[in-house]
Amino acid sequence: MGDDPIRYQFRISGHLGPTLLTAFPALMAQRDGNETVLTGLLPDAAAFYGVLAEIEALGLDLMEVRKFSPPDSRERP
Q: pLDDT class for 72, splitting at 50, 70, 90?
A: low
Residue 75: per-residue pLDDT: 46
In this predicted structure, the answer to whether residue 1 has a pLDDT above a threshold of 70 is no
HEC string of the chain equals CCCCCEEEEEEEECCCCHHHHCCCCCCEEEEECCEEEEEEEECCHHHHHHHHHHHHHCCCCEEEEEEECCCCHHHCC
Query: What does pLDDT average to over the chain?
Result: 90
What backbone torsions phi and psi does residue 76 show, to the nearest 5 degrees?
A: -75, 145
What's this model's pTM, rounded to 2 decimal places?
A: 0.85
- pLDDT category at 69 given cuts 50, 70, 90 is confident
Name the β-bridge partners of 9.
39, 66
